[in-house]
Amino acid sequence: MDLGRSTLKVLVARTANAFVFFGAITYFTRTLPADRVSAFFLYLALIGLLSIPADVGMRGALEKRLSEGDAPGETLGSALAFKAVTLAVVCVAVLALGPLIESALGMPFTGLLVAGLVAQELGRTYLSVVRGELRVGDTAPIELVRRVVWVGIAVTLVSRGWGVRGILIGHVVGRTVEFCWAFLHCRTPIGRPSVEQIRSLFAFSKYQTVTSVGGRVYQWMDVVIIGLLLSGTYVSAYEVAWQVTLLVLLLSKSIELNIFPQISRWDSEASTERIESTISRAVGIVLFVSVPALVGAAIYAEEVLSLFFGPEYVIASVVLVILMAEKTFQSYNDIVGTSIRALDRPDLSAKAIVVSVGLNLVASPLLILTIGFEGAALATGGAWFVNALMQTRYLSRFVELTFPVRLVGWYAVASLAMAGVLLAIRQVVPVDGLVVLLAQVALGVCVYLAVSAAIPRVRDSVIAPGMSVVRG
């Protein structure tokens, strides 16, 4: 697998995916009341939490075992048999608790919840199969089409008065398209399930479950706690800020998807040097994006929320900056955490997750009650900084992890130069409209890239290799 080309394909698709979603959220927040949009975010939170027992870490285990190249058909058949049981149990439980769920969330959508969960789990499972075949780049158009279908249907139905239900229907249809396409692209035959393969899968998945729980809790815990302690308006504002900061993780998530199966294959071949150099380069590349993004958020947080989503979302300006700092830690975690799991030590990654989630569970409600919903962002940022420290220590046990300190220092220099130019421009041209905002952001990107290109270490380590990949 060509890591550079595959990562570029995933990055382009995920960038388009993110902007489609970003545009959809902008439309929904301007069309529907904030308390109605919060119902959609709660739906996503619930379906995300339900996917944990429905999957039990099986997708990650399936990708890991397939990437090792041992008995692929039997591995896939065993994973699907296991998954069918867990998914059926969760769906029956949701249907049985339907009235309680509908009462808690304020809208009757149990049927859509079950349909969305089934479609999502089948689609994600077959995407994991394609990735386990070391064909990560082939999943890029599948994920993009899924998002385009969802947004197209959702916007159409919302514009015709379907409200939040229209968004949920679009979600179900998009996930169904994802499953059908991934299934058709899968090259691994479904073999006969075996107890031996199920045990092998479960040996990995039991720890992957903890990681999945941590990821879901990390993504949705703050929203749920804010929903319990504050109003729906704060839920929507926090989630909008969260979605904006997720744009920073496009690169790290794209690299994460590609290096997991490749490091797994190299680990089975004892290619330690290739693993070490790949991890070091990946860390340097992802921080090239997250460092200037934090500086930009500190300058334009209020304008981004106001001009894109509406003045009622400006209350999350401080939250946006804090979460952008947290995403800097998370972009690093994406590389280090997936490397630990690819080395077949998901237990260590799980330990770090348990500690950080525990810290977040305790700190988030306390800080929300004492300083407001900004406290949720502070709790999350602190917890995942601890996670980064722990995972670094664990990974260092198996490979020599070299953190690119000087490279990141140069990123900071280029980011400060960008900030100086932007602050000067703001004094002359105030940000009073969306066009001005976008123009100044584009200018900031150009200044950052120009200064970075003038720094030999950054040019040789990041920019030149990136241009080489783009040229193909």
- Averaged pLDDT, 22-35: 76
Please determine, for residue 416, whether its predicted confidence score (pLDDT) is greater than 90: yes
- Confidence band, pLDDT 50/70/90 cuts, at residue 179: very high
Cα-based distances in Å from 374 to 145, 223, 226, 323:
35, 12, 10, 9
Least confident of 286-295, 308-317, 319-328: 308-317
- Confidence band, pLDDT 50/70/90 cuts, at residue 283: confident
Check the CA dihedral 355-358-364-370 and report its sign: negative
Residue appearing with tokens 């920073």: 248
Please determine, for residue 3, whether its predicted confidence score (pLDDT) is greater than 70: no
How far apart CA 468 and CA 123 sit, in angstroms, is: 33
The DSSP secondary structure of 439-466, one letter per residue, reads HHHHHHHHHHHHHHHTSHHHIIIIIHHH
Predicted pLDDT at 50: 85
pLDDT digits (tens, 9 = 90+) for 51-85: 888 888 888 888 888 887 777 888 889 889 988 99
Please determine, for residue 306, whether its predicted confidence score (pLDDT) is greater than 90: no
| Residue 372 φ/ψ region, left for φ over 0, alpha for ψ in the -120 to 50 degree band, beta for the rest | left
pLDDT digits (tens, 9 = 90+) for 367-391: 888 888 888 889 888 988 998 899 9
Which of 4-18, 58-72, 433-447 is predicted most confidently? 433-447
| Under 8 Å between Cβ of 11 and 251 | yes
Predicted pLDDT at 138: 84
- Averaged pLDDT, 182-190: 88
Query: Mean of the per-residue pLDDT values for the chain?
Result: 84
- Confidence band, pLDDT 50/70/90 cuts, at residue 176: very high
- Confidence band, pLDDT 50/70/90 cuts, at residue 126: very high
Please determine, for residue 1, whether its predicted confidence score (pLDDT) is greater than 60: no
The fraction of the chain above a pLDDT of 70, given in percent, is 94
Predicted pLDDT at 118: 92
- Domain residue spans of the chain: 3-403
pLDDT digits (tens, 9 = 90+) for 224-269: 777 777 766 777 788 888 888 888 888 888 888 778 888 888 887 7
Please determine, for residue 343, whether its predicted confidence score (pLDDT) is greater than 70: yes
Predicted pLDDT at 120: 92
Predicted pLDDT at 371: 85
| Under 8 Å between Cβ of 285 and 322 | no
| Under 8 Å between Cβ of 345 and 287 | no
- 102 vs 374, which has greater pLDDT? 374
